[in-house]
Structure 1
Amino acid sequence: MDLRASSTVLDTVVFVLLVGAAVVVLGGLDTAEPADYDRVADETADVLATSTTEVTFERSGTVTDHRLLGVVASTEASPAERTVTVSRRAHGTYAQLLATVAVANVTLGPRSLTGTGGDMEREVTNATARVLPTGEANVEVRATWRAYANATLDRELVVGRRPPPDADLSATAVTVASGFPNVSARTPPDPTYEDVARAVARGVVAGLFPPGPTADALASEGPDRAVVAERYRRASAVLDADTADALAEGNATAANQRLVDALVPRLRADLTAEFDSPEAAARATSLDRVRIVVRTWSP
């Protein structure tokens, strides 16, 4: 897989989820007649899992603290004057790019944790839409990531038309590695809800802000630092976490820990309400995968 851009450091942060991503085609799901629509669903899933494409997009960040760039920024400057933009390029299979977009802009309830995936999302969904065989059938592609079953921490991305309620559907699923860790393998024996919540929080934060590449970006000068700091700023606002000093010092480990500590109580309450036991909660985690479902039906 080829990852190229004008800045290696920030690309590593943005696209670390693509590295080593696995794609598994699961086959037909609840398929319906006629068989041609089954074939279209299967073939479309195969195209998404094996065919590659390249997209170019932009990332932006607003300099809210002059220490982020190592220069004195005017407090009277307009937001546009304090905004830096970098151009990025990503290459991978359609399924990998859809999965990357899904996890790059994870939501907690109605709010995005990073809010920075819009331009890439548009480019990836447009590229995907162009390869859908809409002349043969109606087609919908749905990429879904959830931290665990029925989680409020999730992300769903849809390309194509939504099927009507009475449509006879053919469907095929593709599973793509998200780049986030397998939390169920990292929880201790006989875990508590706190243990599971902390494992999930650590996995999500590490996935969104990989410590090594993120630290490199924060230690760099220029737009990389500002763009990564913008993602931290948005996550901090959603979680009500104070990461300003850690970011100014370029301390990604400290910034990540503050995000984790702020996220844990929310997840613990959600897991306690949703699952009968911590063990069941741990088994239900699914941070490490994105499920992509192709559905087809008669025009």
Structure 2
Amino acid sequence: MSRTRDPPAELAGGRSCDRAISTVMDVALALLIISACVVMIGVYLHSDDDSVDGTRADRASQTLSGSTITITYDMTAENESGHAPVDSENFEIPDGLDPDESPELYRVTTYDSASSLLAESALVAVEYDGTQPLAYADDVEASVDAAIRGQLVGSDDSIYAVATWEPYANSSISGTATAGERPPRTADISSTSVTVSTRMAGADEEDYEALASSFYDAQAAGSDGVDGTAGTLAELIVEAMFPVAETQYALESTRTENAVTVYDYRQLALAFGGDDLKAAVDEEITGVNPDASAANGQLADGLADQIAEDMRGDPIHDELDRLFAAHPDEDEFTTAAVPHLEEYVSIETVDLTVHVTDQ
């Protein structure tokens, strides 16, 4: 089943193409925010009313969602730790495409609504166990922030937006991106929060039923049910990050999209499971017959244990245990469990909070 909402839009070097230069970058690579369209935000926020009323943040959020903006970021740029993606041992420069000789091939230009792109940037900034695997996340976020400050009219710090991604409640896997300047605690602030859909595909009814069934099967077999659910959830998350068809295309390419996709896999594998998982994934993504589906399976296996641990520490564990005891029939259990899992899982959405202060 397809796990992407929209076809990828951009290729490295800013050229429009059927496919983005990455897959985490398909959901995220097309990142972030802010061009001249954002100018209207500053104008809109500074109307004739001198006070910060309760609707200012709502209007700012609506403007973000209604503004089409463009940004460019660079895969050769160093992050805050001084590391550039192209300098990593996990980034293999394609033959004949040296970044020093063809730097344009490592720049990405993309556009979308401001709120959508800020949400996508949170995906690129994914963190796991305190580590941010993708070094280009800093440049994406910096590009957004600089664009906002440069484009807002009258006041570049009147708006502060925070996008947060958690694929499930209280997840160890999360991403956060911000735009604007954090307002002081003493400032008069108007705030609002909305949910923004990303390019990632979310779980559908069949997926939620599979999550419930995997819990039931594991619990019925004498194991902890969340161990079963965690494996299924890991598969959904990884496939959302690396949609099989698009990823397979990238892995078979000889262009920069291959280098970035391989880099993304390796970096995430290191974060999720260390050198052993990286080696296992590497076998599936390199060579003459790369296999995106098999690579996703390896990555999901490495992620499943952490998801199970997260679930054991969340109220969802006790709730599913209670439902299992109350509904010994699998169909009845699945029917009862699905609404709780729908509330718990949010792979495809990002929470966006917008703060507005008077300047």
Q: Is the TM value for this pair above 0.5?
A: yes
| Count of aligned residue pairs for this structure pair | 278
Task: Write out aligned runs for 1:147-296 (5 A).
Answer: 147-183=167-203, 185=205, 186-188=207-209, 189=212, 191=215, 192-240=225-273, 241=277, 242-249=280-287, 250-275=290-315, 276-278=318-320, 279=337, 280=340, 283-296=343-356
Larger relative helix fraction: 2
Indicate how the Cα distance of structure 1 residues 40 and 136 shifts in structure 2: closer, same or farther if over 3 A, else same.
farther
Equivalence map 1:27-66=2 (5 Å)? 36-59=52-75, 60-61=85-86, 64=89
Contact 2:165/2:174, CA 8 A, preserved across alignment: yes
C-alpha RMSD of matched pairs (Å):
3.5
Alignment of 1:135-150 (within 5 A): 135=155, 138-150=158-170
SS at match of 1:234: helix
1:115-126 pair list within 5 angstroms? 115-126=135-146
Instruction: For 1:37 and 1:154, locate their aligned partners in 2 and report how far apart those are by CA, in whole Å.
Output: 32
Partner of 1:6: 15
Cα distance change of structure 1 residues 198 and 272 upon mapping to structure 2, 3 Å threshold: same
| Per-residue deviation, 1:207 | 2.3
CA distance in 2, matches of 1:125, 1:46: 19
Query: What CA distance in whole angstroms lies between the structure 1 residues aligned with 2:91 and 2:199?
Result: 32
Shift of 1:180: 3.0
Does structure 2 conserve the Cα–Cα contact (< 8 Å) formed by 1:101 and 1:121? yes
Aligned with residue 110 of structure 2, among 85, 90, 98: 90
Instruction: Give the structure with the larger strand fraction.
Output: 1
Q: What CA distance in whole angstroms lies between the structure 1 residues aligned with 2:153 and 2:60?
A: 7
Distance change in 2, residues 1:202/1:42 (3 Å) = same
CA contact (8 A) 2:150 2:156 kept: no
- CA shift at 1:65, angstroms? 8.1
* 2:125 match: 105
- Deviation of 1:116 (Å): 3.2
Q: Is the 8 A contact 1:214 1:228 kept in 2?
A: yes
**Which amino acid counterpart does residue 240 of structure 2 have in structure 1?**
G
2:26 matches 1:15:
yes
- For residue 20 of structure 2, give the secondary structure of its aligned residue in structure 1: helix
| Structure 2 residues without counterparts, runs of 5 or longer | 1-5, 31-49, 76-84, 216-224, 321-336
SS in 1 for 2:313: helix
How far residue 104 of structure 1 moved from its aligned partner, in angstroms, is 2.2
How far is 1:45 from its partner? 0.9
Greater relative contact order (Cα 8 A, min sep 6): structure 1 or 2? Answer: 1
* Secondary structure in 2 matching 1:181: coil
Instruction: Provide the C-alpha distance between the structure 1 equivalents of 2:104 and 2:303, rounded to a whole number of angstroms.
Output: 28
Query: Post-superposition shift, 1:285?
Result: 1.5
* SS of residue matched to 1:142: strand
Equivalent pair of 1:102/1:145 in contact (CA under 8 Å): yes
Shift of 1:124: 2.3
Segments of structure 1 that go 5 or more residues without pairing to the other structure are 20-33, 72-79
Q: How far apart are the structure 2 equivalents of 1:35 and 1:172?
A: 16
Q: Give CA-to-partner distance per residue, 1:150-196, whole Å, 9 cap, x none.
A: 22211111222323445443212232112333347413345331343
Correspondence for 1:77: none
Q: Per the alignment, in what secondary structure is the counterpart of residue 146 of structure 2?
A: helix
Whole-Å Cα distance in 1 between the matches of residues 166 and 261 of structure 2?
23
The runs of at least 4 consecutive aligned structure 1 residues that moved more than 6 Å come to 65-68
**2:46 alignment counterpart:** none
Q: CA deviation at 1:209?
A: 1.6
List per-residue Cα deviations over 1:252-287 (Å, max 9, x = no partner).
Answer: 111111000000011101111122234446531211
